[in-house]
Amino acid sequence: MKNLLLPVLLAFSLSAFAQQDPYMGIVPAPVSVKKGKGEFKLTAETIILADSPGQKAVVFFADYLKKAGFDNNITDMNQLEKGHRDMKNSISLSVNFKGDLPLEGYQLFIFEDHIILNGRGAGLFYGVQTLIQLMQVKNANLITVPCAVIKDYPRFGYRGMHLDVSRHFFDVDFIKKYLDLMAAYKLNTFHWHLTDDQGWRIEIKKYPKLTETGSMRAQTKINRAGIDTGFYDNTPYGGFYTQDQVREIVAYAADRFITIIPEIEMPGHSMAAVASYPELSCNPGKPYKVAETWGEFKDVYCPTEETFKMLDDILFEVMLLFPGKYIHIGGDECNKFAWKNSDFCQQLIADKNLKDEEGLQSYFISRIEQFVNSQGRSIIGWDEILEGGLAPNATVMSWRGEAGGIKAAQLGHDVIMTPGSGGMYFDHAQSKSPQEPLSIGGNAPLSKTYAYDPAPSELTKDQQQHIIGVQANLWTEYIPTSAKAEYMLLPRMLALAEVAWTPVANKDFRNFSEERIPRQLVRLDAQGYDYRVPVAIGASDTVMTGSKFTIELQPSVEGATIYYTLDGYTPRETDLPYTAPLQITVPEKMTIDLKTIVITASGKRSLVADMKLENK
C-alpha cells in the first residue's frame, strides 16, 4: 500500500461528488453526519494525542499516517495538563471521555483547528476508519479533512465475511489483504472455511496426513458441467496454512478488531479428511481421493467413537489457535447414502432410538457440540443442523433462504443471516450479462445485496434479538485467482457492510451507488484491489422506444472515462469519449445501438452496456 495512498487521495480532492452527498462518501453510511464549514489541515506540525497510545486503533492510525508519508508521533495525553485535549492543530483519540456510546460506537468532531475522536475498543477503531475515509492527501505535506460532526454505531454486532480456501487456496498475504478490506468497512467477523471435499487447509499436529494427503488434489475440474462429465486440468493443486501462519493471521485480524471463526466441516464435505484417514468413513476399505470436482459426495464421516475421538482432537487443536467464542462445524449438505447402507449406522440409529438418518445427523452434531461446549466455546452450523433436531446451544447460519433462520430464532437460538436468495452469495454473477465471468450460477447484482434486510418481519421483537447479524459468503469453486476473488467481492462487500452497519432509515441505493461507490472504487484501485467496474450510471441493457433521446451518463468510478459507439461495435478507448449528454435522433423504423463502456484511470473496464434506441 506504501506510497499508493497519495494518488488515490489526490483523486478524491478533485471530486465534486462529495459536495452533495449527505454521507460525505463514507461507507457504510454512519448513523448521523452533520457537515460543517471549512476543513482541518493535517501537516507535519499536527499533534496526535491519545489517552491510550498502545490501543490498536491508535497504532493503526499512526501506521496509516506513516504509510502516507507523515511521521507525526503520538503524544500520550495523560502526560499533559488537563484541558489540553482541544489544543490547536491536534487530533485526539480518546477512550476516556464522558458519556456513554453504544457498543462499537464513536463520535468524531472535525473542526478547523482540531479533531476529537471518542470511542472505546472497536469504537475508536471504527472512528479511525471513518476519519481515514474523509482524509484527502493533497500533497506530501498536507492532508485535509472536511469539518463535520459524526455519531455512529452499528446495527448488528455480527458483521461477517466468509472465504472458502478449500476449493481454491489463498495465501497468507491475500488473507491479510482481505482482512484489511473488511476492517476498512467495519466488518468484524471473518468466517474461514478451512476444510472441504477438495482440500484440508489447516495443519493439525496430531493428524499430519490431513495436510500431507488431504491438502492436495490430483487435478481440478475446469468447466461447469455435471459432476461426472467435463474436463480436468491434469495439474496437482494444493496448499495449507501452518499453525504458525494461522496464529499470525489471527493476530493480524485481532489488531483490526476482527474475530476469526474457523470452519471444520462435518459430517459431510469431508472427502479430503476421509482420503487422508479412510477409517473415518463407513467403508474404510474403499479407495478414496481428495475431490477433484464440485458438489455433494456420498462418502462422509461415520459416527463411530473413533471418528468422534479424532474430531475432538482436531477441534481441540483448532481451539488452541482461535480464541473466539465460535467454532463453525459445518453441517451442510451431508449426503445420507453411506449411513443408509451402513449396518453400523443402522444399529446406532436403533440403539440410540433415533428416528432416521436425520436423527443421526442431529446426534452427530450434538456430540460435537458437547465437546466444544465443554471447552467453553459454542458451535455454529449451517441451517441443515435443524434437520432431526437442533443441538441445544447451537447458532444457526441461514443460507437456504431465511426459513431456517426464522425457525431457529423462534426456537430461541441465535441466528446469522446469509441467504443466497438475499444477495449474500458472492459466488453468484453480478449481472445477467453473458459478459460476466464464469460463476456458480445465480444472480446477485449490487442492488440486490444492498436491498437485503436481515431482520425478517415474521419474527416478533423478542425473536428479532436472536438475529445477531449478517454475512456474505465467497465460495471459490470457480474462483481460482485472488484477482477474481476481489472481482467477485467488490463492490458487493461494501453493500454488505452497509446492510450490517447502517440503520435502515439511512440506506439509499442511489446515493450509495452513484455518489459513494465511485469514490470508494477509485480508492480501492490505488490500494491495489481488483473490482468489478459497474457500467456507466444511466446505462443498462435495455430497449427504449421513441425518436429523440437525451442520454445522460456518469462514470461509475471517479476519474474514469465512458466511451461509446452508435455503430453496433464494441466500444473501446479508441472510440468517442462521453463528455456531455448525447442527443440522439433515431430515423423512423430504425434502431440505434448505443453501446458504452467505462474505463478507469488504472485501465479497468466495465462490461459493455447495450441500449437499443428504437423508433418503431
Catalytic residues: 196, 269, 333
User: Which is nearer to ligand TNX, 186 or 428 (by Cβ)?
Assistant: 428
User: Which is nearer to ligand TNX, 115 or 385 (by Cβ)?
Assistant: 385
Chain positions 438 to 457 lying near ligand TNX, rule: CB under 6 A, are: 440
Q: 107: closest CA among 62, 92, 189, 12?
A: 92
Chain positions 367 to 426 lying near ligand TNX, rule: CB under 6 A, are: 382, 399, 425
User: Which is nearer to ligand TNX, 271 or 360 (by Cβ)?
Assistant: 271
Burial 365-404, CB ≥16 within 10 A → b, else e: bbbbbebbeeeebbbbbbbbbbbbbbbeebbbbbbbebeb
CB of 441 to ligand TNX, least distance (A): 8
Chain positions 557 to 616 lying near ligand TNX, rule: CB under 6 A, are: none
Query: Edge to edge, what strands does the sheet with 609-615 contain?
Result: 542-545, 609-615, 590-599, 561-565, 576-577
SS3 for 616?
coil
What is the C-alpha separation between 379 and 511, in angstroms, rounded?
38
Residue 23: all three cell numbers together:
454521507
Query: Is residue 380 within 8 Å of residue 393, measured between CB atoms?
Result: no
What is the C-alpha separation between 517 and 29, in angstroms, rounded?
11
CB of 295 to ligand TNX, least distance (A): 9
Query: Is residue 564 within 8 Å of residue 606, measured between CB atoms?
Result: no
User: Which is nearer to ligand TNX, 91 or 444 (by Cβ)?
Assistant: 444
CB of 427 to ligand TNX, least distance (A): 5
The residues, any chain, with a CB within 8 Å of residue 419's CB and separated by 6 or more, are: 398, 399, 400, 401, 402, 405, 452
Residue 205: all three cell numbers together:
499436529
CB of 421 to ligand TNX, least distance (A): 12
Chain positions 294 to 353 lying near ligand TNX, rule: CB under 6 A, are: 332-333
User: Which is nearer to ligand TNX, 313 or 333 (by Cβ)?
Assistant: 333
The residues, any chain, with a CB within 8 Å of residue 228's CB and separated by 6 or more, are: none
Strand ranges for 418-533 from DSSP E: 467-472
Number of residues that bind ligand TNX (CB under 6 A): 9
CB of 362 to ligand TNX, least distance (A): 17
CB of 252 to ligand TNX, least distance (A): 25
SS3 for 429?
strand
The CB density around residue 10, as the number of other CB atoms within 10 Å, is: 15
Residue 486: all three cell numbers together:
476481489
User: Which is nearer to ligand TNX, 105 or 381 (by Cβ)?
Assistant: 381
SS3 for 325?
coil
CA atoms within 13 A on the CB side of 507: 19
At residue 74, φ and ψ (nearest 5 deg) are -95, 130
Chain positions 474 to 533 lying near ligand TNX, rule: CB under 6 A, are: 475, 477
Q: 235: closest CA among 224, 245, 221?
A: 221
Chain positions 205 to 244 lying near ligand TNX, rule: CB under 6 A, are: none
User: Which is nearer to ligand TNX, 28 or 160 (by Cβ)?
Assistant: 160
Instruction: Convert residues 268-287 into a mask of x (bound to ligand TNX by CB under 6 A) and - (unbound).
Output: --------------------
User: Which is nearer to ligand TNX, 440 or 451 (by Cβ)?
Assistant: 440
CB of 168 to ligand TNX, least distance (A): 11
CB of 411 to ligand TNX, least distance (A): 20
Question: 104, 357, 427, 575: which one contacts ligand TNX (CB under 6 A)?
Answer: 427
**Positions that interact with ligand TNX (CB under 6 A):** 332-333, 382, 399, 425, 427, 440, 475, 477
